[in-house]
Amino acid sequence: MNGQVTNPGGEQAVAAAVLRSDRFRLEREADWVRLDGMITAMEKGKLKRLADDDVMALPVLYRNLLSSLSIARESSLDAGLIAYLESLTLRAYFIVYGTRTTFGGWCRSFFGGALSRAVRAIGFDIVVALAAMVIGAVLGFMLVDADTQWFYRLVPAQFSDVRVPGASREALAGTLFGKQDGEGLSVFAAYLFNNNAQVAILAFALGFAFGVPTVLLLIYNTATLGAMLWVFASRGLTVEFVGWLSIHGTTELLAILLAGSAGLHIGRALGFPGKRSHLAALSQSGRTSAQVMTGVIVMLICAGLLEGFARQLVQATEVRYAIGYGILALWLAYFFAFRPRRS
């Protein structure tokens, strides 16, 4: 005996496995080769060379490939075949589901119509959010008008400088004009930007609680603005204060309005999905709201730039109005009048 041990049963099992693997390959290899060729062409940017039938068959071939990979794994076919199928599946996944646009292309698509369409899609929610903000501003003004102690309940304590009830007209006007108070304005401007950015994010995030916290947050936030407005209005500085606020405020308040509207849109889909399932309604509203929030971030960045430069440099009230409401007109025209056709 030479020490070698024969195992006829094991050899038969190996032969059966090889035969099974070959048969499996022969039955499906044509589809794999066809899909491989299509993916290779698409990876090389030669999509136009593909026939219409090939493009139409791509999803079917991809699903068949997934089925083949599943069977190969369960049947413990040879490792080389499984590795090939996994590699082909990964390449096909990026072709079928992966993004095929550049950042520039995405920007053109998003700012060239997708954002404005998303904003128009939440029109009803914008009306509700706007009503909440108006009610909040009026409520804040009326509460302080009835009792000035409400001012200290609504306005954060860090601004209890000269901008308080009872301050003189000269002192209040000094916070609106002149570079001598630039530091104070910068602090207040930084607070407004940070506060409004947080409010925008919270207004959107709280929409998942059926939108109720979003409405309350919008009312409270603008009640603070109404309280501050009362202080300046009590000394005949309403026009000057609104002009000072307008340069960045029109963009910032519009951003908060849209963020709150996006939150309400999700909350409304969650509470009132209509004929759709909750999951479908939430998915659709989530995509729309995400597009709106992307625009909100861009608007807040624009508001920050205006706040950091324009408001400090521009002293004339008329120019402040022209800048603030001119930019607001551009935003509104972009969102509601700019309606390019879908490509």
Distance from C-alpha of 159 to C-alpha of 186, rounded to nearest angstrom: 12
Residue pair 310/322 in contact (Cβ under 8 Å)? The answer is no
Single pTM value for the model = 0.69
Distance of CA 123 to the CA centre of its chain: 17
What number of helices (H) and strands (E) belong to the chain? Answer: 14, 0
Q: What is the DSSP code (8-state) at residue 77?
A: -
Q: Which of 296, 321, 311 is nearest to 122 (CA)?
A: 296
Q: Could you state, in chain order, the average pLDDT of each consecutive group of 10 residues for the chain (343 residues)?
A: 51 67 81 87 76 80 84 74 84 74 79 92 94 95 94 77 84 76 57 73 84 91 92 93 89 93 91 82 88 91 78 84 94 90 64
At 98, list the tokens. Answer: 């992966």
Distance from C-alpha of 38 to C-alpha of 44, rounded to nearest angstrom: 10
Q: Tell me if residue 46 falls in helix, strand or coil.
A: coil
Burial class (CB in 10 A: 0-12, 13-18, 19+), 260: buried
3-state helix, strand, coil split of the chain in percent (to 5) is 85, 0, 15
Burial class (CB in 10 A: 0-12, 13-18, 19+), 101: exposed
Q: End-to-end alpha-carbon separation of the chain, Å?
A: 80
Tell me the H-state helices in 272-316: 278-305, 311-313
